Each structure stands twice: as structure tokens, then as C-alpha cells.
Structure 1
């Protein structure tokens, strides 16, 4: 028996539930996990669209009603406004969205009492849409769909590129594969995908951007470990750690904040090393194991706080360290559109302090002449240039080597090119390659 398509009003209810969870401070990921499986793909598509247009929707709601209704009703109302405010790019015609939003309000106990209010607001929106949208155009939060503090920080940090960053954030990210060159060459993998009817564009040294996203189960070779899903910008980390030539063992590498293991696996793909992967969360360490197993790779995985070496370090100094530090995730907003609404301005300083703690803890564990690659998926300079400048000011034995620096999010592929600040299709990152001077003595375990 053929299953009937899920009614749109149910999809809108599910998307509104995700928005309500984000407003409570919860990530969209667990909120979507609670949505019934048959609704989840549609709920994700709609809720991501809503989160990318939430600033405009909330500004419109203020035009329609000076006082917000109860949270569940406001989430449904703003969901409908976010989806319908702009006819171009709307997933359904505005009249259909409004009609189905009212139906959704009527059918849910938590919104039924506000059905008439939601209906009145949305019918007025349809009648006065052009004027209402024009009235919100001067509001920067409505224009850019980011919190005001975020917009102001980008203006300060990137005065010539802040608009480009915000525009990139509001677009959907592509699905990018990293080819496991231990198993197959990039050109051969592209040919295999093309033979299966999957069009791709090369990006960087190891990447292929899919013309359209697919479930990983439909990608030839994924289960066999030929490819992994990883943004092109993230694919730079492993090559920076390993260097221009793959080292000969024994070579000790630490991936200090490793979960879910994408960068760990890439390091293991590029070089035969003794690789230690740490993560503070045991459950996330299991994800690292799973990724390595699928790819046929090995590393020592340990649940530990990288910032407390006395609890895990055996005294063997490392030739190279990757510190993919906890950060605001301000560079991956196009993949995680909830991030902008979950972060608070005070988070930037708190996370920068964590980054400083980790740098200070791990630097003594590096051999003289070794390299530490500091990485964040952030475009904020407090988590990039400023953090490294502060570190260098207090560590005279550290030398900053040439590297990407702030890699700003960009949409659009540069065939065969390395992701950079001028072109490419990649998320936002910061990379710094720090080399330890030959005269700086390594730490002893008792010092850690």
C-alpha cells in the first residue's frame, strides 16, 4: 500500500516545535531527533528555512502584534512568517502556508486557543505583505537574520567582508566529500560517482562537492571507506598537521579535541603515525572509533580533557598537535542555522578563555621543532588572530608559520582549487601553524 504524503500542517507543527526548542536554548539537532521519523526530513528542511529567516519573521510579528502570544503560538506564527514573507524562494505559495498554519494551530492543544489570533495576524500579513516587509527593511536583524551583536562584531572584525559572510551564512551549504586517497584517487572517485549518475565538482586537494545532497547510503563506496563527508575548509587541517611530506614513523601526533573524528581520520589517511585522539566525552569517543573502523584506519582513542595533561599524558612529547578548539561555531552557520540564535555575546570571551587554557596546556607537550596547528570553526577574531597574537606575546619560542589564517565562508565552487579567502565553497575557519623553537625545552610529566 502506498503511504499518503504527510499533510503540510503537520510539517509546520514539527518545524515550529524545533523553533520553540531553539528559543529555549536547545540545539536544533536533539529537537529534530524528537520529531517522528516520517516527518523529520520535511521538518529539518522547513525549520532550517525558518532559522535562516527568523530575524525577518520576528520583525514582522512585532508589526502584526506588539505583544507576543504564548511561546507555542508565537513559534507557529513566526514559522509561517519566515516561510511566507518572501514569495521567491518560499517552499510553498504564501496562501497555502497561511492556510496550513491556521490548520496546524487548530489541531494542536497548545495552540488551539490562539487559533483566531494566528489566523487574524496571517490574513493581515497576506493583505499588507509588501508594506509590512518594507517597514522592517531598516532593521538590521530583519535584513541580515543575525543577532545585532553578531552583525556589529563582524563589521568590526571584517569591515570589508562582513556582508559577504552574512550572505554566505544565509545560504544552504553543499554536501562535500573527502576522498580517502589511501583507497582511491580523487579523479577515479569522481569518475565512479559520475558512472552512478552523481555529478560532482572538485574542490581543494581531496574534496568533491555533490551537485545535490544524498543520504550516505546512496553514495558508492561510502560504506567501504572510500569517502567521508567533510567540508572543504575542514579538509585543510590534516595536511597542515602532517606537513608537505608524509613523515616516516615513529611520528607522534596528538589530535586534542578529536570528536567526531573527521580530522583524526584524515591525518591517518595521509600518514602512518602513532596517533592519539582525545575527547572529553566518552560517547563522542565512540563516534571516533566508528569513523576509523569504517575507513579501515587505526588510532589510540582516549576520553580525557586535553587541558589537563597530568590525567592522560605519558611524558612522550609530540611531533605535531592539532588543537581543533571549542568555539562559537560562527563559521559553520550555513550548516547549523540555529547557532546564531543560540550564542550570546558573552560566549565569545568565555570560549576564548577555554582556547587560551588549551593552548597553554598543550604547548609544553610539543617537541622542539614540532608544529601545533590551532583551528577553530569561527570567523570571530577573538577566536583567531587575536587569540594567537596573545599566545605569541607570552611564548617567545613560538613562531607563526605561513597558513590560511581566517578562512571566510564562501558559496560557489572553484574547480580544482584550494579553499581560500577569494573563492571556493567552504565554511568559515581559522588556522594558525605554530612552530616551537629548537632551543625551547619540552615539558616533563610532572610539569604538565
Structure 2
């Protein structure tokens, strides 16, 4: 496929996400399989991600450089320009190829009359730096204000980190191969990597690569999972070897798989409300060679869950604002609304209450989110413990981030990992 065609596809994906409210994951999931060359797939994904992370800055640039920037009716033109700017600014691609391919993409998109404008703007970007933008330029004002209120000393760093490409974290399946041996396999094929000193199963790649390039991926030797998510299994230390465990919001299955890899004798049930997501979980467990029971069920409705005798441990990785993973899912900042957070808090409370009713006395409830908003995390846990006399918050150590008083919080980028919250609550006998 020509470079121009690749830019056209990237611009269409970006336009759908940026101007038509579509999901980034869904749009990439539809577009990328149509590209036979993995290099084209990588270019489209990288360009779209870079443009989304910097869309606030690029909007400010067009506002300063143009008397009449493209409006809502010409979202594809704006997206083409953003893709061009991302190649030059964030991706540092060779200028000649980036400019020529993007200008040709304008012609292929039926905008031959605007190709000169695209050319002029991109060549100006070669001559002079883009105007500086606010560090929170991509964040909606209501959400930026919440972040500043919650983390006044860390807010600017959160905004800056959330606009940077994250590393790629791997989780080695210790049931298939020791981590040290898998690291040797990476070295043999020339993949630069770093072993984590604090995460037993983790390897970090500073430069992400397609999973198809990972040795042993199809054989189940390795999975992709951020370091903060891998930390969750450490909070379950001390469980009985044959513990009965419920992963209440399990899809896409990474945490349930990690529990099974680390504690193969546990009897685990992984559920999700979406049948398609459950099928994908099952495929993932099969690839890893893990025997994990699955089911389509609503974790807020205990009657829908086979919980005879109760569970020794329940993991709730709750649906949340996802404010800790903006650098991985930059469209969060486009789609999230203030009333969404209130609805999510209501769901989180229902999940906590339903799970508590299924937990054995003496059992452990592990509540986690990829949010950095205290109202979804610390306040939820504090209110829950206040409502339940038999609930005891158990201490976690510094591996889990800063102590908030009712749980531990990691912020985006700390130790190269995502923003994540953890709270372990034990049920008194």
C-alpha cells in the first residue's frame, strides 16, 4: 500500500474518533486488519495515537496559523493536517516522505483543491516550532479542574505524562517459561528489554512492537499487561492454595490469567456481562494453557453468579473513568463527561455491595481501578468501610503507590506504569 493511502486511512480513523465520537479501539480494530503490511498497521496506529495525544496543541496551532481553521464540517481535512503534524512533530519521521505522502493523501481523499493548504501548513511546521500549548490542552476543563483539585502538586506532571507514549509491559507466563529464559529469547531476536526489579513476572519494552513479533506469544509464553495491573496479584498474598476466587469484572482476562499463572491451584471463576468479551477471554486463557471457568453474568446481581458457599477472594477491577490510562487511550478525554463519573461511582458502589454478599467470612475483597479520581477510589472505600462493621482495610506496602488513607494510588508514569488504585478489604469472621 502506498504511503498516501496509509495516511488516508489514519485520517479517517482520527476523524471518526475526534469529530464523530467513535471509539478509538473500535475504529483501529476495524481499520488495521485491512492492512496486510504490519509496517502500515504500525504507522497508522502510531500516527493516530500521536495526533490524539496532541490534538489540543495542534488545534491551538491551526488557530494561530490560519484565519479560518477547518470547522466541524471539514473534520477529515483537519484530521489530515493533524496526521501530518504528528509525523513531523511527535513521530519525527523524515520530512520529505511525511509531507509528500500527506499532501497526496489530501488529493486521494477528494480534496485536491486543499492539497496546497496542507502542503503550506506542513512546510511551515518544518521551518518554525509549533506554538507552545497548555500542558492540559487536551483535557476538558471540568476534568482538568478535578485533577488539579485532587493532585495539586502532581497535576502538571500527570497532564504531561498522559500525553507521552507509554512503554510496553510484558507478563511472562511462569507456567510455561521462566522469566530469565524468556528474556534470553528476546535477546536472541534483538528485542531490547528491561527486567523489572519489583514485578516478578514483568519485562518492559521501551519501544512497543506488534505482539506477532514476540517470541512464544502464540505458544502462551507471554502476554501484554501493564505493570500496574500486574501488581494487583501481589495484593492477594496469603490466600489459601486452593482458594475459590471470583474475578467480577474480568474481561479482557489479564488479571484472572495472572492469578492462575501465579496460583495454579486456585479455583477461579471469571465473569463479564458481555458475551463477546467472555469469548475473547476464553480464547486468551486457551492460548495461555489455563483452565479458568468463565461465565456471562452481571457482578451487581449475585443471583446470576454460581456462588454456593461463597468465595475466599473477590477481585473487582471496576469500570471507571480510566483517567490513569489516558496515554494508552487518549480518546477518553474526548468522550468522558462529568455525569459519566457519577454514574460510574454508582456502579462501583453496587459492585462492592454485591461482592461483599458473596464473600466468605475471613475472605478478601480486592478493589481496583485505573482511575486517579479520589471519588472513585479513596472515598468509595472509606464510605464502604463505614457502612460495614465487618470490613477491615488491610495495609499494603509502598509497592502499591502512595497511601491515601483508604487504599494506595499510583499516578501515571510512576515507575513507567499506568495510574492505578488498590484497596484490600478483609471480611471479619
Moved more, 39-48 or 252-261: 39-48
Moved more, 214-223 or 381-390: 214-223
Q: 1:123 aligns with which of 113, 120, 123?
A: 120
Instruction: Indicate the residue corresponding to 2:47 in structure 1.
Output: 46
Q: Distance in 2 between matches of 1:197 and 1:124?
A: 39
- 8 Å CA contact retained: 1:356, 1:387: yes
May I ask how many residue pairs the two structures share in their alignment?
A: 410
Moved more, 94-103 or 381-390: 94-103
Long gaps (5+) in structure 1: 411-422, 439-448
Matches within 5 A, 1:215-230: 215-230=210-225
Displacement after TM superposition at 1:104 (Å): 2.4
Displacement after TM superposition at 1:41 (Å): 2.7
Indicate how the Cα distance of structure 1 residues 197 and 43 shifts in structure 2: closer, same or farther if over 3 A, else same: closer
Instruction: Indicate the residue corresponding to 1:279 in structure 2.
Output: 272
Indicate how the Cα distance of structure 1 residues 314 and 85 shifts in structure 2: closer, same or farther if over 3 A, else same: closer
Indicate how the Cα distance of structure 1 residues 346 and 98 shifts in structure 2: closer, same or farther if over 3 A, else same: farther
- 8 Å CA contact retained: 1:20, 1:72: no
Q: Distance in 2 between matches of 1:37 and 1:229?
A: 22
Indicate how the Cα distance of structure 1 residues 257 and 21 shifts in structure 2: closer, same or farther if over 3 A, else same: same
Q: 1:197 aligns with which of 187, 190, 215?
A: 190
Displacement after TM superposition at 1:258 (Å): 0.5
Q: Distance in 2 between matches of 1:59 and 1:82?
A: 15
4+ residue segments displaced more than 6 Å: 128-132
Q: Distance in 2 between matches of 1:130 and 1:210?
A: 33
Alpha-carbon displacement from aligned partner over 1:316-339 (angstroms, at most 9, x marks no partner): 211100001111211112222222
Alpha-carbon displacement from aligned partner over 1:159-193 (angstroms, at most 9, x marks no partner): 11112222221111122111122233222322232
Q: Distance in 1 between matches of 2:190 and 2:102?
A: 38
Q: Distance in 2 between matches of 1:55 and 1:88?
A: 14
Displacement after TM superposition at 1:205 (Å): 1.7
Moved more, 41-50 or 209-218: 209-218
Displacement after TM superposition at 1:370 (Å): 0.9
Q: Distance in 1 between matches of 2:126 and 2:339?
A: 36
- 8 Å CA contact retained: 1:60, 1:81: no
2:427 counterpart of 1:436:
yes
Matches within 5 A, 1:42-441: 42-65=43-66, 69=70, 71=72, 73-81=74-82, 83-84=84-85, 89-92=90-93, 97-109=98-110, 111=111, 115-116=113-114, 119-120=116-117, 123=120, 126-127=123-124, 133-134=130-131, 137=133, 139=134, 141-142=136-137, 145-203=138-196, 204-241=199-236, 243-244=237-238, 247-249=240-242, 251-271=243-263, 272-403=265-396, 404=400, 405-410=408-413, 423-438=414-429
Secondary structure in 1 matching 2:229:
coil
Secondary structure in 2 matching 1:431:
strand
Q: Distance in 2 between matches of 1:98 and 1:340?
A: 28
Matches within 5 A, 1:3-18: 6-7=2-3, 9-18=4-13
Q: CA RMSD in A?
A: 2.6
- 8 Å CA contact retained: 1:285, 1:302: yes
Indicate how the Cα distance of structure 1 residues 198 and 170 shifts in structure 2: closer, same or farther if over 3 A, else same: same
- 8 Å CA contact retained: 2:211, 2:217: yes
Displacement after TM superposition at 1:281 (Å): 0.6
Indicate how the Cα distance of structure 1 residues 395 and 83 shifts in structure 2: closer, same or farther if over 3 A, else same: farther
Q: Distance in 2 between matches of 1:15 and 1:356?
A: 39
Secondary structure in 2 matching 1:260:
coil
Q: Distance in 2 between matches of 1:399 and 1:50?
A: 45
Instruction: Indicate the residue corresponding to 2:23 in structure 1.
Output: 27
TM-score w.r.t. structure 2 length? 0.87
TM-score w.r.t. structure 1 length? 0.84
Q: Distance in 2 between matches of 1:125 and 1:210?
A: 31
Indicate how the Cα distance of structure 1 residues 94 and 396 shifts in structure 2: closer, same or farther if over 3 A, else same: farther
Secondary structure in 2 matching 1:45:
helix
Secondary structure in 2 matching 1:233:
helix
Instruction: Indicate the residue corresponding to 1:419 in structure 2.
Output: none
- 8 Å CA contact retained: 1:259, 1:285: yes
Moved more, 45-54 or 170-179: 170-179
